[in-house]
Structure 1
Amino acid sequence: MGKAGRIACIITPMALTIASLVCLLIVMIGQLGNNGKAPSTSLGRDLYFFKADTSNFTGNSQTILNKVEGASSKELKDFYQVGLWSYCEGERTDGVEKITYCSSSKTQFWFDPIEVWGLKNTTVQNVLRDDLQKGLNTYKKVAGWMNWAFIIATVLTAAEFVVGFFAIFSRWGSLVTTILSTASSIFAVAAAATATGVYGVLTGVFHTALEPSNIDTSMGNKMLQVMWVGVAFSIASGLFWTLSVCCCSGKSGSKKMAVEKTPYTYERVASPAFGQQGHQLQTAPAFKPSGHGQSGTAYEPYRGQV
C-alpha cells in the first residue's frame, strides 16, 4: 500500500479525534465567565447542564423567603445556569435573557442553591423537602469525580492527537494511540453518563420540591447534545485506530523477484541431422581413427606407424 495509503488510513481517526477534542472543550467553556462577567462567546452563554428559572419567585407572596425565619433578604435573579466549573445568573427583560454575573471557576465546583439564594444558616430545612437536601448531598459528592473525569478525558484526547502522528510511520504508533484512545473514551463515557444522571436526578428533585414556589428547572439540551456527540466521536476514533493496527501496514505489496538459473537447468541439444543451430552443449571432439593418407586433426592416442 505504501506510505500514501498509510497516511490515508490515519486521516479518518485523526479527524475523529480532533472532533472529539473540540466537543470536550466546548463543554468546558459552558458558563465560564471572566472575572465575574458573562462568557465572551454565545456558546459559553447558551451551554449549561442545569437551569433554574426563578423569574416568578419574587412576585409570589407565599415564597420560601417569607416562610423561613431569619432568611436573607437577598433578591433572586430571574435565572441561574450551571456549567462544569461555575454558574451564571441573569435577568430577563422583554423576553430577552442577559447574564449579569458568573461565579469564579472551581475544579470541585457544585451548585448550592441554599448558599447562592441566601438561605444559608436558616430554618430552610424545615420548609424544603428532605428529597432536595438528599439530592444536593449526592450531587456534591459526585460533582468532584465528574469534573476530574472531563479533565482526564480531555487530556488523554489531546495526547491521542499528538501521538497519532507517530502512527503514520508504524503500527506500533497505532497501538499506543489505540490505548490512549480507549482510555479517553472510557473517561468520556463515564463523565457524560455521570453528568446526565446527576443533573437529570437533580432537575427532577428541584422540580418536585420547588414547583410550589414557582421555580422551574430544566436540563440543557444543547450541552447534552455536544457532550454525547463528543463521546460518539471518541468511540469511533478508537475503532479506526484499532483498524490501523491490523491494516494499512505502509509497506509496498509489489516486490520484484529475480529468478536465478540453477546449474542443472535443462537445455536442448542440437540434433546432428539439422546442423549446429540453437543452443548447444559444449562437447569434446569425437574420436576419429587415422588411416593411410589421412592427417587427422583429432586426438589420436594410438596412431599406428607404417
Structure 2
Amino acid sequence: MGKAGRVACIFTPYVLTIASLICIIMVGLGCTKASSGTLNNLYFVRVDLQNISSEGSKTTTEIENILSEHGITSVTSSEVSDVLSKLQEDSTLADFYQIGLWGYCDGAINNNTANVTECSKPKSEFYFDPFYVWGLEDSDVKDELPSDYTKAMKVYKAVSKWMFIAYLVAFIVTIVEILVGFFAICSRWGSCVTTFFAVLAFLFTTAASITSTVLFSVFKSSLSSTLDAYGITLTLGKNIYAATWLAVVFSLAAVIFWTFSICCCSGRSPYGNRNNNNARGITAEKAPYTYEPLGAGQHPHGHQHNTSYPPPAAHGGEYPMTNTNQRSNAYEPFRHV
C-alpha cells in the first residue's frame, strides 16, 4: 500500500480525534457566555429556587427521616427551615443557578422559560459555593450550618478540582495527539507515538466524564428529596453529559484505529523495489540432462579454474599438442540428476 493508502488509513482516527476534541471544548464552554443559548444549555446541574419556601411541604418527621437516610443525623427540620428563612431575608436570589466547568450562570424564569441573565467570570478549579455566590459567606446563616455541611463542601471542592484537572489534561493531550498524528502518515513509528497519546487522552477523558457524572448524580440524589420539600429543585443537564460521553466514545474509537494503523496500512509501495539492483535475485535450479561449464560454480576433484582434463586420444593413443587454456571452458559430463 502506497502513501495514498496510508493517508486514507490515518484519515479515520484523525477525524475521530478532532470530534473528541470538539466535544471536550463544548464541555468547557458551558456556562461561560450569557448571550449564547447553546452554551447556556450546557450545565452539569441546575438549582431552581423559584418556589423556595422556608416552610416545608413535608412534616418534620418525614424531613428528618429523609436526612437520616442519607447519613445526615446532625441536622433537624427546624434548622433547615431557619437557614432557608434567613436566606430569603438576607439575600436576593435568582430564580435558578446553572453550574458548569469554569463557572456558573443565573437568571430568571418567565412562563416556564429559563432566561440566563449573567454568567460568572471563568475560573480554574471552580466549585459552586452557594453562600459565597449568594453573598452570605460572612453572615450568621453559615454559622448555623452543621459540621456535615463543611465536610461535604470539602469533599465537593476536592473532587471538583480533580475533575477540572482531568478535563484540562484530556484537552491538552488530545491536541498533542492531533499534532503528532501528522507523523503517523509517514511511518508506523509515527502511529505508535500517536497511539500512546491517544490512550492518555482516552484515559483522562473517561476519568473526567466518570467524575462529573458520579459527582453531580450523588449530589442530586442526596439532596433532592430534602430540598424538594422546600421548593428547591435540582436538575441534571443532558447536553453536557451527552457531549462528555461522546468525547469518550470518539476517543476510544480513535485509539482502536490508531492501533490498527500500527499493524497495517504500510506506506511502502509493493512496486518500489522492482528496478532495484540489490533486490533478491531469482535462482534457477539446475535441470537434469544439461551441460554446464566447469568454470562456473564449484570445481570438481579439487581442480583450479584453469585445469582441464586431457583430450581424448586420437590416432593410436597419441595426444595432439594443444593449449590447455583453450579447454578452460570445457563442459562437465552429462548430468543425470
Q: TM-score range by the shorter chain?
A: 0.7 to 0.9
> Helix, strand or coil for the counterpart of 1:97?
strand
Report the counterpart of residue 18 of structure 1 in structure 2. 18
Are residues 1:243 and 2:268 paired?
Answer: no
Report the counterpart of residue 44 of structure 2 in structure 1. 49
Report the counterpart of residue 166 of structure 1 in structure 2. 183
- The answer to whether the Cα contact below 8 Å between 2:54 and 2:82 also exists between their aligned partners in 1 is no
- The answer to whether the Cα contact below 8 Å between 2:9 and 2:265 also exists between their aligned partners in 1 is yes
Report the counterpart of residue 122 of structure 2 in structure 1. 105
Candidates 180, 196, 200, aligned match of 2:197: 180
Identity over the aligned pairs, expressed in percent?
39
Quick one: distance in 1 between partners of 2:259 and 2:195?
Answer: 6
Structure 1 letter corresponding to 2:113: V
- The answer to whether the Cα contact below 8 Å between 1:52 and 1:217 also exists between their aligned partners in 2 is yes
Quick one: distance in 2 between partners of 1:157 and 1:243?
Answer: 18
Quick one: distance in 1 between partners of 2:42 and 2:195?
Answer: 31
Report the counterpart of residue 6 of structure 1 in structure 2. 6
Report the counterpart of residue 259 of structure 1 in structure 2. 282
Matches within 5 A, 1:81-96: 81-96=98-113
Structure 1 letter corresponding to 2:6: R
CA deviation after TM superposition for structure 1 residue 197, in Å: 1.2
Please give the root-mean-square deviation of Cα atoms over the aligned residues, in Å.
Answer: 2.9
> Helix, strand or coil for the counterpart of 1:213?
coil
39 and 30 in structure 1: CA distance in 2 versus 1, 3 angstrom threshold: farther
List runs of 5+ in structure 2 lacking aligned partners. Answer: 56-80, 275-279, 292-310, 322-337
> Helix, strand or coil for the counterpart of 1:119?
coil
Structure 1 letter corresponding to 2:185: I
Matches within 5 A, 1:92-241: 92-124=109-141, 132-241=149-258
Structure 1 letter corresponding to 2:180: V
List runs of 5+ in structure 1 lacking aligned partners. Answer: 270-284, 290-298, 302-306
User: What is the TM-score when the length of structure 2 is the normalising length?
Assistant: 0.71
CA deviation after TM superposition for structure 1 residue 77, in Å: 1.0
Structure 2 letter corresponding to 1:47: L
CA deviation after TM superposition for structure 1 residue 206, in Å: 3.0
Structure 2 letter corresponding to 1:237: A
CA deviation after TM superposition for structure 1 residue 217, in Å: 0.4
CA deviation after TM superposition for structure 1 residue 259, in Å: 3.4
Quick one: distance in 1 between partners of 2:49 and 2:140?
Answer: 21
300 and 142 in structure 1: CA distance in 2 versus 1, 3 angstrom threshold: closer
Candidates 65, 90, 105, aligned match of 1:73: 90
Quick one: distance in 1 between partners of 2:138 and 2:232?
Answer: 21
Structure 2 letter corresponding to 1:75: T
CA deviation after TM superposition for structure 1 residue 187, in Å: 1.0
Quick one: distance in 2 between partners of 1:208 and 1:131?
Answer: 17
Quick one: distance in 2 between partners of 1:287 and 1:39?
Answer: 115
> Helix, strand or coil for the counterpart of 2:50?
coil
Quick one: distance in 2 between partners of 1:50 and 1:115?
Answer: 18
Structure 2 letter corresponding to 1:106: K
Equivalenced residue count is: 271
CA deviation after TM superposition for structure 1 residue 6, in Å: 1.1
Structure 2 letter corresponding to 1:21: L
Structure 1 letter corresponding to 2:43: Y
CA deviation after TM superposition for structure 1 residue 119, in Å: 3.4
- The answer to whether the Cα contact below 8 Å between 2:105 and 2:119 also exists between their aligned partners in 1 is yes
